[in-house]
Structure formats: structure tokens, C-alpha cells
């Protein structure tokens, strides 16, 4: 967005809402913290959380019955939200919602049930959306309500993969976004889309890594390149970018190529999937990076660390939608091999955007699809050195499908120089002139920058609590769908592939 221009407020576009090629719903796991940055626990929280859910129900009913609720949303509601009890989660809010000719009951507000202890993760779940405005509206509404009902209980929301003051990793107590995509033409198309998602798992991990701090500090010394304070490059080679994914070996796929989620041939079924990942049943198999056999007939994409803003969340939605459109057009998605995916997945977890790109295990995919091979590997004689180079090429490759979703449109986005503010966080982090550092610069680099800043500003004061304060502020500001904690300008003229 150009400087010196006032940013317009987001509003649901009733006349021209952007239709998504595929239905899309999200599960957002948000850290619920005490004033000192710790995790609330114990029997007292059972009563507190019930109060939070009850207050949220009243707030949500008021909003859904008001003029603030768009007609599209009201037309899809099946009754008003209700209080229900889930054996794993406890008290939850359930909303009936229409998706095509079907009706689904969505537990849109409550405690995440996949935790081992009496510790509370707030889970905000959107109904399946067919339009981009619809998805943004639900995210904004649920985040706003979440802020309103937790602050009176002296609890604070923090959207990140792992809050920086958590003393040690605990199974199930990290925070992520899960994406559910549906509306496929047939099972074959669904498998192709799953296959293209699988191929780009390392890229999306690197883009969304957002948990570089634990026990108030990074895992190594932060190193910078350059001398100008606002144009440093945050290399920090020893700092793990996703501590969440590094430790999460029970709720996602194992970093073992022999049992990693397989490429699905056209004739493959659920039994083939189970045999490769060595699970006895679909119920046992659902905790994978990508799960293509959900009970809602969706593909569930599970690897993303929780981002700091709604705008970044929607950016990842658009990225997945564009990849799915590419898969729809391609006759066959090449199998880049589990060995390749696992190797690059591991590096992306450790180094994020600056991960070394491993091409040793990638087979001859160009013989299956030349264009895909060039995008995925780079120049045949000189393949990518770093993951960020592969991501940059992926984003360039996805320009045309994104344009079809009206993400690049001069008339639609007059105030944003023709580019949707929801794709801007991704483009800025990879190509832009970031205000505070050199690109590539993601949200984990942002956290490392904050830590480094406070460490040098006052060496006698722990930097971790100051970083947490800023992350809580960023989460609070994310009620504005256009808000992004990382600012700067995108040099569109130098990006020749952006043709508006």
C-alpha cells in the first residue's frame, strides 16, 4: 500500500463478494494466557471457561441478529447458535450452517479438545465459506468476541505458534491453523489437490513458521547482516523457526519418509493411505500434515503455525485456493517423493525462509510436467539454494489463478494499487521493501527482531516479556482484517510477473 494514504476500513462487499473456487473453513487455535504469560490450568478454569463461552454466545447472537451481519451470512444460518457440551472440549457454541444443499453443525467457539491436561486453548472455527468476504467476516467476528469475553477474566489472547514465555514444550499445547477445503468436482480432483498440497508442504511451513522463542528466548544467538539499523538481514542461522513443529511428532506426520503421507495415484483409496502411514484406522490417521479423508469430505491442511493477523491467515487461504486451481488444470501432479518432502520439511522447520533447498531426492518430475518441474526445482543447471527462492517462484507461478480469484485487480483494489491486502503480507515478506529489515522477512524473523531490539535496548531486563506484550497487542489489533504487524512497500514495477 502506498505511504501517506489512510488505510480504508474493511467492509463486507455485499454487491460483489469474491467467490472462492473451493469452499474453505478454518480452525484457529489461539493461546489463552494469564497476565504473566503463563498457561491457565486447574479446576477453576472449568468455571471460568464456561463463563467465557456463555458470554460469547450472547455476544454472537446479538451480532447475528443485528444489521452488522450481512445478508449472505443470515441466509446461511440454520437457527441461532446454541450452547452444547462436548465430552472432550466441555462447553461449546454450535451453529447450524448451510453449505450448498447440505447443513453442517459447526462448533465455532470453545476449548480445543486435543490437549492432555486441564489447560485451555481457545479454538475459533469458521463455518465453511464459499466467498472470501464471508470467511473474513467470520474470522473478524470470532476474534472480536474472543477479545471481548477473555479480557474481563484477566486472560489474554496471543496468536502465535508458541507463546514466548512458555517454559517447555508440552504435547498438544502449541497453536496452529487448520484449513478445510471442499467442493471438489470428484474424488480424482480431490486427490490431485491433495497431491499438490503435499508437494508444497515445506514451502508453506517456511512461509508460516512463527514459533522461534521458548522460555523467553530463541534457541541460539541472533545474527544480523549489514550495518544500517532498518535494513538488517536477520540470518540467525542457529535459531529454530518453528519450535512447535520441531517438537510436534504425535499430532502431525512423522519426519520419516518411509511412513510420510503418500502421493495418491488415481486408483488409491483410504486403505492405501493407511498402509503407508502405518495406521490401523481412519480415526487413528487423522493427525497428519494433510488429511484427505475427513468426515466432512474435505482436505484438512494442518501444518501452519498460528499467524499474528487475519490478513496473513487469509493470505494462506488464497495460496491454497490458487494451488488447488493449478491442480484442477493439470492432468497429473508429479510425485516429488517423500524423501524430498521430508528433507525440505525438516530444513523449513529449522530455518524457515532461509532453509537450504534440498533437491537430491527429487526425481525427474519435469518429464511428467515440464512447467511444474521448472517451478519446483528452478534452473536445471542451477537449482534453488534456499527455500525462499522456491517460494518466490511458487508465488510467481500462482499469479494467474490468483488473478482469476480477483486478488490482482486495479478496479477492485483502487486503494491498494490493484493488489489485495490479503495477498500483500506474503508478497511483501518475499519481495518487498520491508520497513524494518531486508526481505525475505517472515513473522518468526519479526519475533527475533523484537527480541534482539529489547535485548540491546535494556540488557538488564528480560526481553521475552516485552516480546509477549507486543504479540498480544498484535493479536488485539488483528480484529482489523487489514492489519499486518510487518509494514513496507511492494515494488510492483520491478516484479515483471505482476501484470495488472
* pLDDT of 169: 87
Question: At residue 5, does pLDDT exceed 60?
Answer: no
Question: Is residue 481 in a domain?
Answer: no
Task: Look at residues 259, 295, 237, 33 and name the one whose alpha carbon lies nearest to residue 151.
Answer: 33
Q: Would you say 204 and 391 are in contact if contact means Cβ atoms under 8 Å apart?
A: no
Question: Is residue 489 in a domain?
Answer: no
Same domain? 178 vs 309: yes
Q: Considering the chain, what is the average pLDDT of its residues?
A: 93
> Quick one: how far is CA 54 from the chain centroid?
28
* pLDDT of 246: 95
Q: pTM for this structure?
A: 0.96
* pLDDT of 4: 42
- Strand 299-305, strand 77-86: pairing: unpaired
Task: Look at residues 342, 322, 352, 402 and name the one whose alpha carbon lies nearest to residue 207.
Answer: 352
At residue 410 the predicted structure's pLDDT band, cuts being 50, 70 and 90, is confident
270 grid coordinates: 483410504
* pLDDT of 430: 97
Burial of 124 (0-12, 13-18, 19+ CB in 10 A): buried
C-alpha–C-alpha distance, residues 264 and 296, integer Å: 19
Question: At residue 1, does pLDDT exceed 50?
Answer: no
Q: Would you say 311 and 484 are in contact if contact means Cβ atoms under 8 Å apart?
A: yes
At residue 500 the predicted structure's pLDDT band, cuts being 50, 70 and 90, is confident
* pLDDT of 115: 61
- The mean pLDDT of 355-363, rounded to a whole number, is 94
Burial of 147 (0-12, 13-18, 19+ CB in 10 A): middle
C-alpha–C-alpha distance, residues 285 and 288, integer Å: 7
- The mean pLDDT of 347-356, rounded to a whole number, is 97
- The mean pLDDT of 230-238, rounded to a whole number, is 82
Same domain? 281 vs 396: no
CATH number at residue 119: 3.30.590
Same domain? 42 vs 75: yes
What is the residue whose three cell numbers read 498457561? 39
Question: At residue 106, does pLDDT exceed 60?
Answer: yes
Question: At residue 2, does pLDDT exceed 50?
Answer: no
> Of 21-30, 45-54, 239-248, 394-403, which gets the smallest average pLDDT?
45-54
Same domain? 211 vs 311: no
Q: Per-residue pLDDT tens for 58-92? A: 999 999 999 999 999 999 999 999 999 988 888 99
Same domain? 165 vs 225: no
At residue 276 the predicted structure's pLDDT band, cuts being 50, 70 and 90, is very high
C-alpha–C-alpha distance, residues 85 and 195, integer Å: 36
* pLDDT of 32: 93
Backbone angles phi, psi at 340, to 5 degrees: -65, -45
Over the Cα atoms of the chain, what is R_g?
A: 22
Q: What's the structural domain count of the chain?
A: 2
Q: Per-residue pLDDT tens for 242-271? A: 999 999 988 899 999 999 999 999 999 999
Question: At 345, which helix (H) or strand (E)?
Answer: helix 338-351
Same domain? 240 vs 255: no
Question: Is residue 495 in a domain?
Answer: no
Same domain? 356 vs 296: no
Its domain, for residue 408, covers 207-244+333-465
Q: Enumerate residues 6+ apart whose C-beta is below 8 A from 391.
A: 203, 206, 207, 353, 430, 440
| Cross-strand partners of 157 | 32
| Cross-strand partners of 29 | 123
The residue that leads in pLDDT, 57 or 168, is 57
The residue that leads in pLDDT, 123 or 113, is 123
Same domain? 146 vs 219: no
* pLDDT of 110: 92
Question: At residue 472, does pLDDT exceed 80?
Answer: yes
* pLDDT of 127: 98
Same domain? 445 vs 373: yes
Question: Is residue 486 in a domain?
Answer: no
Question: Is residue 211 in a domain?
Answer: yes
Same domain? 255 vs 274: yes
- The mean pLDDT of 205-215, rounded to a whole number, is 97
* pLDDT of 112: 83
What is the residue whose three cell numbers read 516480546? 467
Question: At residue 461, does pLDDT exceed 70?
Answer: yes
Question: At residue 414, does pLDDT exceed 90?
Answer: no
| SS3 category, 158 | strand
Q: Would you say 250 and 173 are in contact if contact means Cβ atoms under 8 Å apart?
A: no
Question: At residue 443, does pLDDT exceed 70?
Answer: yes
Same domain? 288 vs 426: no
264, 285, 317 - which closes a domain? 317
Angle of CA points 20, 317, 89, to nearest 5°:
110
Could you tell me the sign of the dihedral formed by the alpha carbons of 260, 266, 272, 273, in that order? positive
Question: At residue 380, does pLDDT exceed 80?
Answer: no
- The mean pLDDT of 93-109, rounded to a whole number, is 96
Long-range contacts of 5-12 (CB under 8 A, 24+ apart): 5/415, 7/415, 7/482, 8/415, 8/482, 9/480, 9/482, 10/136, 10/140, 10/480, 10/481, 10/482, 12/70, 12/72, 12/133, 12/136, 12/137
* pLDDT of 428: 96
Question: Is residue 9 in a domain?
Answer: no
Same domain? 167 vs 81: yes
| Prior bond of 440 cis (ω within 30°) | yes
Backbone angles phi, psi at 21, to 5 degrees: -60, -30
Question: Is residue 382 in a domain?
Answer: yes
Question: Is residue 479 in a domain?
Answer: no
* pLDDT of 3: 44
Q: Per-residue pLDDT tens for 281-311? A: 999 999 999 999 988 899 999 999 999 999 9
267, 291, 317 - which closes a domain? 317
* pLDDT of 359: 93
Q: Per-residue pLDDT tens for 301-342? A: 999 999 999 999 999 999 999 999 999 999 899 999 999 999
Amino acid at each position: 500500500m502506498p505511504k501517506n494514504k489512510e488505510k480504508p476500513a474493511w467492509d463486507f462487499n455485499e454487491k460483489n463478494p469474491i467467490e472462492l473456487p473451493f469452499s474453505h473453513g478454518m480452525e484457529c487455535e489461539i493461546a489463552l494466557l494469564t497476565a504473566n504469560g503463563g498457561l491457565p490450568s486447574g479446576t477453576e478454569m472449568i468455571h471460568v471457561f464456561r463463563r467465557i463461552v456463555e458470554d460469547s454466545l450472547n455476544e454472537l447472537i446479538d451480532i447475528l441478529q443485528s444489521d452488522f451481519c450481512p445478508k449472505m451470512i443470515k441466509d446461511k444460518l440454520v437457527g441461532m447458535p446454541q450452547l452444547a457440551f462436548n465430552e472432550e472440549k466441555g462447553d461449546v457454541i454450535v451453529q447450524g450452517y448451510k453449505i450448498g444443499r447440505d447443513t453442517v453443525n459447526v462448533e465455532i467457539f470453545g476449548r480445543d479438545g486435543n490437549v492432555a491436561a486441564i489447560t485451555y486453548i481457545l479454538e475459533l472455527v469458521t463455518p465453511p465459506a464459499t466467498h472470501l468476504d464471508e470467511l473474513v467476516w467470520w474470522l473478524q467476528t470470532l476474534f472480536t468476541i474472543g477479545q471481548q469475553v477473555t479480557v474481563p477474566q484477566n486472560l489474554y489472547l496471543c496468536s502465535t505458534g508458541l507463546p514466548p514465555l512458555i517454559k517447555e514444550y508440552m504435547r498438544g499445547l502449541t497453536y496452529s491453523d487448520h484449513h478445510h477445503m471442499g467442493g471438489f468436482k470428484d474424488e480424482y480432483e480431490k486427490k490431485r489437490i491433495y497431491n499438490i498440497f503435499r508437494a508444497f508442504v515445506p514451502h508453506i511451513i517456511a512461509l508460516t513458521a512463527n514459533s522461534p522463542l521458548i522460555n523467553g528466548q530463541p534457541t541460539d544467538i541472533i545474527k544480523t547482516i549489514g550495518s544500517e539499523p532498518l535494513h538488517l538481514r536477520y540470518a540467525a542461522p542457529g535459531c529454530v523457526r518453528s519450535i512447535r513443529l520441531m517438537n510436534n511428532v504425535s499430532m502431525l506426520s512423522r519426519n520419516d519418509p518411509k511412513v510420510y503421507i503418500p502421493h495418491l495415484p488415481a486408483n488409491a483409496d483410504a486403505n492405501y493411505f493407511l498402509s503407508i502411514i502405518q495406521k490401523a484406522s481412519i480415526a487413528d490417521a487423522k493427525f497428519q500434515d494433510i488429511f484427505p479423508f475427513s468426515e466432512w469430505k474435505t482436505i484438512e491442511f494442518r501444518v501452519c503455525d498460528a499467524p499474528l493477523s487475519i490478513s496473513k491467515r487469509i493470505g494462506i487461504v488464497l495460496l491454497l485456493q490458487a494451488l488447488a486451481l493449478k491442480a484442477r488444470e493439470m492432468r497429473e501432479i508429479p510425485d516429488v517423493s517423500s524423501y524430498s518432502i521430508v528433507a525440505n520439511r525438516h530444513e523449513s522447520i529449522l530455518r524457515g525462509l532461509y532453509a537450504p533447498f534440498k533437491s537430491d531426492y527429487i526425481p525427474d518430475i519435469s518429464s511428467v510436467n515440464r512447467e511444474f518441474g521448472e517451478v519446483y526445482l528452478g534452473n536445471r543447471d542451477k537449482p534453488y539454494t534456499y527455500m525462499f527462492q522456491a517460494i518466490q517462484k511458487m508465488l510467481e507461478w500462482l499469479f494467474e489463478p490468483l488473478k482469476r480469484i480477483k486478488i490482482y485487480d486495479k478496479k477492485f483494489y483502487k486503494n491498494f494499487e490493484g493488489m489485495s491486502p490479503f495477498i500483500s503480507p506474503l508478497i511483501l515478506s518475499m519481495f518487498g521493501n520491508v520497513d524494518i529489515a531486508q526481505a525475505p522477512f517472515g513473522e518468526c524473523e519479526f519475533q527475533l527482531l523484537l527480541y534482539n531490539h529489547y535485548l540491546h535496548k535494556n540488557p538488564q531486563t528480560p526481553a521475552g516479556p516485552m516480546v509477549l506484550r507486543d504479540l498480544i497487542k498484535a493479536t488485539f489489533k488483528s480484529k482489523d482484517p487489514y492489519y499486518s504487524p510487518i509494514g513496507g512497500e511492494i515494488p510492483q514495477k520491478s516484479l515483471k510477473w505482476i501484470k495488472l
